[in-house]
Amino acid sequence: METASIINENINSQNSSNTLEIDHLEEPVKHSLKNNNQALYYLYQQAPVGIILNIVSALLVTWFILPTTPDYLYIPWLAFIVLTAFTHTLIIKEFVNQKTSVQINNQWAVYQTLMVAISALTFSVGYLLFLPLASFFVQVILLLILAILSIAYLPLLSVFLPSYIIYISTFIFPMIFWIYSIPPEEAYPTAALLAVTYCILVLAANYYSKSLLNAFYLAGEVDGQVKNLEDIIEKTKNLNLHLYKDNHEYIRKNEVVCHQKQQAEITLQSIGEGVISTDQFGRVVYMNPVAEIYTGWLADDIKGKHLSMVLNLVDESSHIKLSNPIEQCIESNTTVNSSDNSILIRRDGLEYAIEYSATPIKQENNTLTGSVMIFRDVTEKRSMEKNLNWQAKHDPLTGLINRREFDDRLNKIISSSNKSDREHAVCYIDLDRFKLVNDSCGHQAGDELLKKISDRLKKIARDTDTVARLGGDEFAVIMYSCNLDKAKLIAEIFREEVFNTKFDWHGKSISITASIGIVPLNVSTTSLTDLKRVADLICCRAKDSGGNRIEILESGKSNFKKHTGDLKILEELQKSLEKESFKIYTQKIKPLDDLNDILFYEVLLRMKNTEGDILPASSFLHAAETYHMLSAIDDWVLKVVMEMIAYGNPLFNKAHMISINLSQQSVLNENFIKYAVDTFNDYDIPAGNICFEINETQFYDNMERFKRFVTLMKRQGCKIALDNFNYNPVSINLVKQLNIDYIKVDARQFSNISVEKNHDYKLLESINDINHLIGAQTIMKCIDSDNIIKPSFQIGADFIQGIFIDPPQALNHSQKV
C-alpha cells in the first residue's frame, strides 16, 4: 500500500508537469490530451491494486487445486504469476520516475495493456490445466473466482476500455476450449452464460469508462476553478488590502464631509432663506427651519414625501395654481426661476410673496440625483414695488391714473387700433372757473372738490373705461369700443353731474361747470401727440364758447387733419418764437375830430410759416393761448416795440400813442408786470406813450388780478384800452373806478346803422355816452366801409380804425424788428 501511495503522489506531480507542457495547445486539444493523460494516470494508479488482486486470486486458486493438481503444474504457474507481477511493478515504477511526454503516452498504455493481458492469459492457461482435474465443486469455485476477478478489474481497467476488453477476452477465449470439452448439455448453457456475462461486462466497462472520463473532465474543470479561485483569493487579498486603505481614506474623508455637512446644516439653518432639497423623484430630503416656517410643515413630518404636499404655489392676481418648480427642474434638468407674481400659501392658509430658484443636483457623470429649491419672502418688497408702481401711475390726490399712465394706455390703443376697425373715444374734461374756488376758499377746498368730482366721474364711467387726472383741474376719459354718439351721451352725463355737484365749504356753497371735448380714436389716429393736442384744442373750443358745454371732433380724416393743422401752426409758432422771426405790422387809429392831431397806432403781430405765407394773428394766437405761449409772445412784442422807439424808428418816433395787445396769460402773470416796468426803465421810454389793450371778457373769473394789473400799469403812466366790454352795472362801475382810457366797439355789430337814428344808431349812441360817462374814449374798430363813419361822428365817437381807414402796414426792411 505504501507503493500505491508513492505511485499516487508521483502521478499527481507528473500530472502537473504534463499539464504545463500542453498549455500552448488549442483549447479543445488541451481538454482531450488532459483527459487521456488523466485516464492513463488513473490506469497506473490502480495497477498496483490489480497486481495484488492477481497474486491473492492466484494463491486462492492454488489453495483449492492443491488436492487434485500435481506440483509440476501449479508451481510453475504460480511462479509465472509472481514474475509477471514483478515485471508489471517495474513498469509502474519506470512510469512514475520518467517524465512522460504527450507523444509516448500511448506506449505506456500498450505496456499496461500487455501486462494485464499476460496476467489474464496466465490465469486462462492455468484454468485450462486445472479445470479438467478438479471436481465439479472446485470448478464452480474457480469459475466464481474468475468471475469475481473480471468484475474486480472492471473499475481498475475500464478507464482504458481496450485494456479491459483484452483482459476479459483473454480470460474468456481459453474458457471456450474448456466448454468444448464438457458434455453438450452442460456446454450450451455455460457458453450462453459466458456470452451474456461478457456482454454485460463490456457494456458496464463502457459505461464506467465514460463516467470516469466525465469525472476526469469535471475534475479538470474543478481543478481549473480551484486555481481560478486561488487566483481570485489572491486578488481578493490584494483588493482587501486596497479596500482597507480606501476604507481608511473614506473614513477620513467622511469625517471631513460630515464636518462640512454639519457646518453646511448650521449655515442653512441660520440663513434667512428657505431651503428644500429633494431626491430625483421630487421627494423631500431636507428642509431648513426657515422653510418650515414658510410652509407650515416640520421637516420630520414631510421627509420622504413628495414636495407637492409642501409647496402650494399660486398666481398672485388670479390665484391659479402654478406648476411645481421642482418637477419642472427635474424634467428639464435645468434651473427654474420664479415669476414676478408667485405666492406661497402656508399650511394654515397664510400667504407669502416669494422669489425662488430650483436647481438640479448632478453627479460628475451628469446624472441627476435630486434638486434643491431656495426661496425667500419678498412680501414687503413686492408691496413696496406695488405701492411705488401705483404711485408712479396714479394721481395721489384723487387716486385716478396720472398723465403718464394715461399716455401709455393711449399708445397701446393707438397701436391696436391700426390693426382693427374698432373705434374708441377720448374725452377731455376741463373744469370752468375752478381757479375761483382756490382763490376764494383756498387750495384745501379745491383739493376736496377735485376728489369729489373724480369720485363722481368714476361712478359714472363704465367699468371698461379709464378715468385719469391730467393735472390741475383737467381730467380725461378713455371710452373703449365707444362711438361718438355713445361717447356724447356719457359726456353729457359727466357735464350734468359736474353742474349738479354742490360743494359746501365752511358755509360757502360752491358750484362749477365743465367744458368737455371729445375726439374719436380709430384707424386714422397715428400719433399720440397729435391726438392729445387735438383733444386739448377741442376742449379749449368748448371752454372758449362759454364753458359748460361739449364739443366733438367729428370722426373722419379730414376733421382730424384740420386740427392737426393747428398743431403744425403751433410747431411753427415755437420756431418763430425761438428765432424771433415774427413780423410786426401797424394800423393807424384815426381821430374823428379833425382838430385832434394825435398819432395813434396799434401794433399787430403776423407770422411767416415754412411755406413763406404771412399768417394773421387769428390763425395762430388760439394755439399759442392753448399751449400757454402768449405771455412769451407778449414779452417779445413789448421788447421789440421798446427797441423801435429807443433806436429811432421813424414811425414810432412820430407816434403819440402805441397800443399793444396783451393776453390774459400776461395780465395774470406777476412776472410780466415786473418785466414791463423793467423794460420801460431799461429803454428809458415814457410809459405814457404805451397803451395796453385787454379783452375784458377773459377776466370774469380773475377780476381781482385784473384790477391789480390795471392799477399797477396806470401807476406807471400807461394807458388801458378794453375790448369786448360787457355793459353791465358791475363792469361799468369797475371801469369807472379803474379810470380806463379807451373802450373799443366792434363796428360790425352795427352794420344796419343809418343817419336816420334807427335802433342800431340809438344803441351805439348809448354805448358811446356810457363810455364818456365813465371817462373812457370810444374807438370804433373793424370799419370796412364808409357807412359807419358818419354815424360814428354824429354820436360823438372819438376814434375810428379798420382796413377802410388804414390797412395794416408791414414795417419795411430798414426798420428794426
DSSP string, 561-578: HHHHHHHHHHHHHHHHHH
Comparing 70-84, 134-148, 318-332, 659-673, the range with the smallest average pLDDT is 134-148
Beta strands 777-781 and 799-800: pairing type?
Answer: parallel
- Distance between CA atoms of residues 312 and 348, nearest Å: 11
Give Dmax over CA atoms of the chain in angstroms: 211
pLDDT for 264 equals 58
Is a pLDDT exceeding 60 seen at residue 562? no
Short-list 97, 92, 5, CA closest to 40: 92
pLDDT classification of 160: cutoffs 50, 70, 90: low
- For 465-488, what is the mean pLDDT? 91
pLDDT for 601 equals 93
538 in Cβ contact with 622 (< 8 Å): no
Comparing 44-48, 163-167, 176-180, 776-780, the range with the smallest average pLDDT is 176-180
pLDDT for 102 equals 41
Is a pLDDT exceeding 80 seen at residue 354? yes
pLDDT for 7 equals 35
**HSE of 793, CA atoms in CB hemisphere, 13 A:** 10
Predicted TM-score (pTM) of the model is 0.41
Q: Provide the percentage of residues in the chain whose pLDDT is more than 70.
A: 82
Comparing 61-70, 489-498, 666-675, the range with the smallest average pLDDT is 61-70
Q: What is the pLDDT of residues 582-604, one digit of tens each?
A: 888 999 999 998 888 888 999 99
Collapsed DSSP state (helix, strand, coil) of residue 620: coil
- Distance between CA atoms of residues 678 and 639, nearest Å: 10
- Distance between CA atoms of residues 391 and 109, nearest Å: 115
**HSE of 507, CA atoms in CB hemisphere, 13 A:** 0
Is a pLDDT exceeding 80 seen at residue 487? yes
- Distance between CA atoms of residues 810 and 817, nearest Å: 11
pLDDT classification of 662: cutoffs 50, 70, 90: very high
pLDDT for 13 equals 43
- Report DSSP state, residue 322: P
| Cα dihedral 46/48/50/56 (nearest 10) | -150
Query: Mean pLDDT of all residues in the chain?
Result: 79
Short-list 643, 634, 639, CA closest to 667: 634
Please list, in sequence order, all residues whose beta carbon lies within 8 angstroms of the beta carbon of residue 592, skipping any fewer than 6 positions away.
Answer: 789, 792, 793, 797, 798, 799, 800
- For 267-287, what is the mean pLDDT? 78
- Residue 581's alpha-carbon distances to 386, 608, 614, 633, in angstroms, are 49, 8, 11, 11
What DSSP line would sit under 754-813, residue for residue?
Answer: -TTT-HHHHHHHHHHHHHHHTT-EEEEE---STTTHHHHHHHT--EE-STTT---EEPPT
Beta strands 614-615 and 690-695: pairing type?
Answer: unpaired
Comparing 150-159, 253-262, 279-288, the range with the smallest average pLDDT is 253-262
- Distance between CA atoms of residues 168 and 194, nearest Å: 11
Comparing 24-28, 463-467, 477-481, 601-605, the range with the smallest average pLDDT is 24-28
**HSE of 594, CA atoms in CB hemisphere, 13 A:** 0
Cα 596 versus chain centre, distance: 87
pLDDT for 158 equals 65
pLDDT classification of 768: cutoffs 50, 70, 90: very high
Top pLDDT among 739 and 649 is at: 739
Q: What is the pLDDT of residues 729-742, one digit of tens each?
A: 888 888 888 899 99
pLDDT for 1 equals 38
Collapsed DSSP state (helix, strand, coil) of residue 356: strand
pLDDT for 268 equals 55
Q: What is the pLDDT of residues 174-213, one digit of tens each?
A: 667 667 667 777 667 777 777 777 777 777 767 766 766 6
Q: What is the pLDDT of residues 205-254, one digit of tens each?
A: 677 667 666 666 666 677 667 778 888 888 888 888 888 888 878 787 77
Q: What is the pLDDT of residues 139-149, one digit of tens each?
A: 778 778 877 87
- Distance between CA atoms of residues 139 and 121, nearest Å: 18
pLDDT for 560 equals 47
- Report DSSP state, residue 676: H
